[in-house]
Amino acid sequence: MKKLSLFLPLMLILLLFAACSQQKQEEKPAMLEVQLQTPDHIELNKETTLSCIVTYGGEKVNDADEVKFEVWKHGSEKREMLTAKNDGDGKYSVKKTFTEPGTYSVISHVTARNMHNMPKKDIVVGTPSDQPQNHAEEHHGDEHHHADVMMMLHEKQFSVNKEAHLTVHITHDGKPLAGATVRFEVWKDNGKHLFIEASEKQAGQYEAATSFQENGTYSVKIHVETEQLHEHQVEQITVQ
C-alpha cells in the first residue's frame, strides 16, 4: 500500500510533464513560407510567368497583404518592382517579357500574417550565343555584386505623438545581413533631417524608436554600412 501511495504521485507528475511538453509543441508559432517558382532558363522576347506559392502553417494563404516581384539584370542598377496578382490556392504571379539576354535575379517580396519573406532566385535569359561578350561589363558587374542588398521596412503607418518603432529587415545575397551599422534618416518635406541609430534585434533585423509630432508623409532613408559595403534606400511612411 505504501509503494502504491508513492507510485501514484510519481505517475501524476510524469503525466503533467508530458502534457506540458505536448502543449509547448502545439504552441510552436507557424511560419510564413514562400516557394518561388521561376524557370531556370527563359527564352528571349517571350512572355514568361513568374510565380510563388504562399503558405502559413502548412495552409495556403489567399489573402496576402502584399506580393511583389523584384527583377534586375546582373551588372545593372535598374530594378523593376512588379505587383503580383492573386491566382487563388496560395499562388501569386506576374507576367514579364525579357528583352535583353543575361543573368537576372528575381525576389518575391511577400507580406502576410504580420510576417515577411523574400526568397531569391537567379535565372538565365537567352542562349549562350545571345550573351554579351563584353568582359569589361562582366568585371563591372562583379565589382557591384555587393549591391544585392535588400531592405524591407516592416511598418509604414504610425500615430502622431506616440512611440514609433522603425524596423527594417536586411538581406545580402538572400541571407540576413548581421553585424551592420544601420541608421534611419527621417525628414518631412524640407524640414530638418533627423538621424536615428538602430540596434540589431536579431540577425538581419534592425530597430530604432522615435516619435512624430506632426501628421503627414515622411521620408525615411535607411543607411546600411559594413566594411565591404555602404548602401541606402528611401521609403515613405505615413503619420496620422
Which residues lie below 8 Å from residue 216, measured CB to CB, with a gap of 6+? 188, 189, 238, 239
Mean pLDDT, residues 180-209:
91
Among residues 32, 164, 177, 161, the alpha carbon closest in space to that of 109 is found at 32
Taking a C-beta distance cutoff of 8 angstroms, is the pair 234, 214 a contact?
no
> In the prediction, which pLDDT does 14 show?
63
- Are 108 and 93 contacting, i.e. CB atoms less than 8 angstroms apart? no
d(CA 22, CA 87): 37
Nearest to 34 by CA among 93, 79, 105: 93
Residue 156 DSSP label: -
Q: Provide the percentage of residues in the chain whose pLDDT is more than 70.
A: 80
pLDDT at residue 142, rounded to an integer: 36
pLDDT confidence tier of residue 136, bands split at 50, 70 and 90: very low
pLDDT, tens digit, 9 for 90 and up, residues 58-116:
899 999 999 999 999 887 778 899 999 999 999 999 999 999 998 888 999 999 998 88
Domain architecture of the chain: domains with CATH: 32-147 (2.60.40.1930), 150-239 (2.60.40.10)
Total Cβ atoms within 10 A of residue 46: 10
